Amino acid sequence: MKITTKVLFLDDDGQRFFGDGPYQLLLGLEKTGSLRQAAAEMGMAYSKALRLVKQAEKGLGYALTARHIGGTAGGGSRLTPQGKEFLQRYGAYKAACEQADAQLYLEYFSGQR
């Protein structure tokens, strides 16, 4: 048995705008240079991927991604500097939460299943 932690960011209306799904998607975008390809690798519809990115950008109040056109690869997307910084920070925060919650698990469930 294992535990896993998901940390969700909610706007003031209680709507989710960031979490593990968008995080994985944006990591994929950084790796592939394409939101469409990043979505496909997660088995996610491109329309959903676009919506997740827009929701995240609206919630945070700044652009996480930028499109570029042309070039040999026919254009694509990349993270903005702010987007890169946010992803790094979120990744570190998520890891810290996972560690803290795993430690608490031992405290609350020691000797239990």
Give the binding site for a copy of itself (CB under 8 A). Answer: 1-12, 14, 59-61, 89, 92-93, 96-97, 100-101, 104-105, 107-109, 112-113
> Please, which residue, 43 or 61, has the CB nearer to a copy of itself?
61
> Please, which residue, 11 or 45, has the CB nearer to a copy of itself?
11
Angstrom distance (rounded) from CA 108 to CA 32: 41
Angstrom distance (rounded) from CA 19 to CA 16: 8
> Please, which residue, 59 or 76, has the CB nearer to a copy of itself?
59
Total residue count of the chain as it appears in this document: 113
Provide the minimum distance between the beta carbon of 32 and a copy of itself in the complex, in angstroms, as a whole number. Answer: 25
Element (H, E) at 87: helix 81-109
